Amino acid sequence: MRIDVVTLFPEFFEGPLATGLVGKALARGEAEVGFVNPRDFTHDVHRSVDDTPYGGGAGMVMKPEPMAQAIEAARARGGGPVLLMSPQGRHLTQADLGRWARHPHLVMVAGRYEGFDERIRGLVDEEVSLGDFVLTGGEYAALTLIDGLVRLLPGTLGNQASSEGDSFSDGLLEHPQYTRPPVFRGQDVPAVLQSGDHARIHAWRRAQAVLRTRARRPDLLARIPLAPADREALWSEPSPAAPLALAVAMPADPEALADLAGLAASYALTRAFVVPAPGVAEADLSAALAEAPERAWPVPLWPRKRRNYEPAPIRVAAAERLTVASSFEALAADPGWALVGIGRRPAALDAEVLPPEALRAPRPDGRVWTLAVGPGLVDPKGNPSAFLAGILPSVRAGTREAGLTPMLLAAVLVDRVRGEA
Ligand SMILES: C[S@@+](CC[C@H](N)C(=O)[O-])C[C@H]1O[C@@H](n2cnc3c(N)ncnc32)[C@H](O)[C@@H]1O
C-alpha cells in the first residue's frame, strides 16, 4: 500500500512513522508513505499558501491553487481516493479503515490555519473527522489514519488473529482482558479464563463483549445482527438501565401476546403485564397467554431458511414471563409498580407531564416505573386517573393516537425511554 499526504509539514511525521509496529512495517516495505507540499506549487516570492478570508474574520484560509495542484500531484502517484482531514467530515470508524486498507493507493490532505478554500472540497472523495473537536492541523488526523491502516496490513501484527478480536472489528467493543497475576489487589481473574476450555472461553468473551457494548455503546448494538446466544446473554443479565415494566391492554390473541413478549425481550424489560382489553374476559386472556409461547414466531425481515420460523427462544422465554393483571387500577395498588400513562397536559389539573428521560432513573421509593397503555388511564379531557404516578407527553404532539394500537403505542414509548439510554 502507498499513502501520499498533502501537508505543509512533512517533518511532522518523521518520529511516529519510525516508531513501533508501524515503523517496522514501513521499514520492511509493507507500506510506503510519501509527501506532497503545497508550498512547492506556489509561484510568488513569499511562497504563500494562505490568504485572508473573503468577507473578513479571524484567521487565514489555505489558498485553492497550490492545494489543488498538490492534491492532483499526489493523486497522480497512484490514482487512489483522496481523503480530506476535516472536523466537518464523517466520523472515522474501523469499518472505514477496513475499506480503505483494500486500496493500493490513498491520498490524505491535511489542512492548517482556519481550513481550506471551499472549492477544494470538490477535488476530494471523502471528508474524514476524528471527532467533534478542532485540532490545529490535519497531520494529527492523517497520522491516526496511517497507524490504523498499517495495523490492518497482513504483515504488521505478529499474530494476525489479534486484530480480529479488537473493539469494533465485529461491531462490538472488545471483551475484558486479563494477564498475570491471577489476583490483583483483591480482584480475581474470572475462573472461566483459567479453565483451558476454549469453547467456554470463546462463549464467555462473546457474551462479555455484547454486555459491555450494551452498557457503553448501545448505539453500536442496535446496528449489528445478534445471534440467539447474544440475546440470551442480554436477557439473562439485568440491564444496567433503571428497571422498566410495561402494562398493556390486550385482546385474547396468542400471536399478539407473543409480539408483546418480543417487545419486552428486545428492551430487556423487568416485567410485562397484560390487562384485558374492554370486552375481553380475564379467563380468555389467560388462556391465550398459555398458548403464546408456541406462537412466538420470530418475524425475520429477510427470511433465508425455513427453520427461521421455529419459535424464537428469546420470545418464548419472554412469553412465559408475561403476567395477567385484572386491571390497571389493581396493578397500581401493588406497591411494586408505579404506573405512568400518556396524555396532554391537562390545563385544569396539576398532574405532572414527565419527560421520557425521567423514567431512565430509578424511583427513589423503589417502585418500578411501569408504562401503562390502554383505555381507562386518562379521561377524554386528558385528566389522568388518580392511581397513575405520572403521565408522559402524547406520542405525536397535536395529533390523536387513535391510529395506533396500545401495543404499538407501548413500543414507541418504550423506545423513547430506553432507546438512547
Ligand atoms: C483549525 S482546523 C480548521 C477548522 C475549520 N475552521 C472548521 O471549523 O472546520 C485546521 C485543520 O485541522 C484539521 N482538523 C481539525 N480538527 C479535525 C478533526 N476533528 N478531524 C480531522 N481533522 C481535523 C483539518 O485538516 C483542518 O483543516
What are the φ and ψ backbone dihedral angles of 106, each rounded to 5 degrees?
Answer: -140, 150
CA gap 118, 263 in Å, rounded: 47
Query: pLDDT per residue over 2-40, tens digit each?
Result: 999 999 999 999 999 999 999 999 999 999 999 999 999
Q: In the chain, what percentage of residues exceed pLDDT 90?
A: 61
- Last residue within a domain, chosen from 152, 176, 198: 152
Span 81-96, mean pLDDT? 96
What is the domain extent for residue 91? 2-152
Q: What is the pLDDT of residue 308?
A: 52
| Residue 182 placed within a domain | no
Q: In the chain, what percentage of residues exceed pLDDT 70?
A: 88
The binding-site residues of ligand 1, defined as CB within 6 angstroms of any ligand atom, are: 85-88, 110-112, 114-115, 129-131, 133-138, 141
Instruction: Give the Å distance between the CA of 88 and the centre of ligand 1.
Output: 8
| Residue 126 placed within a domain | yes
| Residue 167 placed within a domain | no
Q: What is the pLDDT of residue 398?
A: 47
Give the amino acid at 348.
A
Same domain for 232 and 299, yes or no, is no
CA gap 73, 164 in Å, rounded: 35
- Closest atom of ligand 1 to CA, residue 132: 19
| Residue 176 placed within a domain | no
Most confident of 337-351, 352-366, 395-409: 352-366
Torsion sign, CA atoms 122, 128, 132, 133: negative
Instruction: Give the Å distance between the CA of 84 and the centre of ligand 1.
Output: 10
Same domain for 130 and 11, yes or no, is yes
CA gap 163, 151 in Å, rounded: 8
- Last residue within a domain, chosen from 236, 267, 295: 236
Instruction: Output the CA–CA distances (angstroms, integers) from residue 14 to 19, 75, 215, 265, in the order listed.
Output: 9, 22, 39, 53
Q: What is the pLDDT of residue 57?
A: 92
Same domain for 137 and 196, yes or no, is no
Q: pLDDT band for 378, please (50, 70, 90 cuts).
A: confident
Q: Are 158 and 146 in contact (CB under 8 A)?
A: no
| Residue 172 placed within a domain | no
DSSP 22-67: HHHHHHTTS-EEEEE-GGGG--STT---EEPPTT--SS-EE-HHHH
Show which residues are catalytic. Answer: 87, 114, 151, 166
Return the higher-pLDDT residue of 348 and 63.
Answer: 63
pTM comes to: 0.66
- Closest atom of ligand 1 to CA, residue 137: 12
CATH of residue 69's domain is: 3.40.1280.10
Span 111-119, mean pLDDT? 95
Query: pLDDT per residue over 160-215, tens digit each?
Result: 556 777 778 788 999 999 999 999 998 999 999 999 999 999 999 999 999 888 77
Instruction: Give the Å distance between the CA of 420 and the centre of ligand 1.
Output: 29
Same domain for 305 and 383, yes or no, is yes
pLDDT of residue 351 exceeding 80, the answer is: no
Same domain for 69 and 51, yes or no, is yes
Return the higher-pLDDT residue of 222 and 336.
Answer: 336
Query: pLDDT per residue over 261-286, tens digit each?
Result: 888 888 888 899 999 999 999 999 99
pLDDT of residue 349 exceeding 60, the answer is: no
CATH of residue 217's domain is: 1.10.1270.20
- Last residue within a domain, chosen from 103, 136, 152: 152
Instruction: Give the Å distance between the CA of 86 and the centre of ligand 1.
Output: 5
| Residue 168 placed within a domain | no
| Residue 253 placed within a domain | yes
Q: pLDDT band for 421, please (50, 70, 90 cuts).
A: very low
The three cell numbers locating residue 317: 422465554
- Closest atom of ligand 1 to CA, residue 133: 19
78-82, 105-109, 291-295, 348-352: least confident range: 348-352
Same domain for 306 and 202, yes or no, is no
Instruction: Tell me how many domains the chain contains.
Output: 3
138-142, 155-159, 377-381: least confident range: 155-159
DSSP 174-199: PPP---S-SEETTEEPPGGGGS--HH
CA gap 137, 139 in Å, rounded: 5
CA gap 46, 43 in Å, rounded: 8
Return the higher-pLDDT residue of 362 and 79.
Answer: 79
Same domain for 300 and 197, yes or no, is no
pLDDT of residue 343 exceeding 90, the answer is: no
Same domain for 359 and 299, yes or no, is yes
Same domain for 217 and 257, yes or no, is no
CA gap 22, 28 in Å, rounded: 10
Span 365-382, mean pLDDT? 86
| Residue 114 placed within a domain | yes
Same domain for 301 and 389, yes or no, is yes
Same domain for 408 and 312, yes or no, is yes
Span 70-91, mean pLDDT? 97
Same domain for 380 and 290, yes or no, is yes
